[in-house]
């Protein structure tokens, strides 16, 4: 997993987001407030993942689906 450091020291939890789209929306919101700065490389990785999600939505699970599948395995 890639770590994104936010200048204001805010901690992000994986449980805050139900999907990659939610995370992307949140990061875009922060970036418009000049609170975070992504490198070109990070932006390219996110763009590739978003494009892959758009082209192959059945290949991905929402965070909620992923979390549920983990809970089933741990029972």
Q: Count of CB atoms within 10 A of residue 31's CB?
A: 13
> Which is nearest to 31 in space by CA: 51, 49, 8?
8
Is residue 67 in some structural domain?
A: yes
Is residue 61 in some structural domain?
A: yes
Contact 62, 19 (CB under 8 A): yes
Is residue 8 in some structural domain?
A: no
Is residue 59 in some structural domain?
A: yes
For residue 69, give its domain range.
Answer: 14-73
Between CA 30 and CA 11 the distance in angstroms is: 13
Is residue 1 in some structural domain?
A: no
- Count the domains in the chain: 1
> Mean pLDDT for each 10-residue chunk of the chain (75 residues)?
59 72 78 71 92 90 86 73
pLDDT at 27: 77
pTM: 0.43
Is residue 66 in some structural domain?
A: yes
Q: What share of the chain is helix, strand, coil (3-state, %, to 5)?
A: 60, 0, 40
């Amino acid at each position: 997993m890639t770590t994104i450091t936010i200048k204001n020291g805010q901690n992000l939890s994986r449980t805050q987001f139900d999907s990659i789209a939610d995370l992307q929306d949140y990061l875009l919101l922060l970036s418009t407030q000049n609170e975070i700065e992504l490198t070109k490389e990070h932006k390219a990785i996110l763009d590739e993942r978003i494009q892959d999600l758009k082209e192959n939505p059945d290949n991905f699970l929402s965070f909620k689906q992923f979390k549920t599948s983990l809970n089933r395995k741990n029972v």
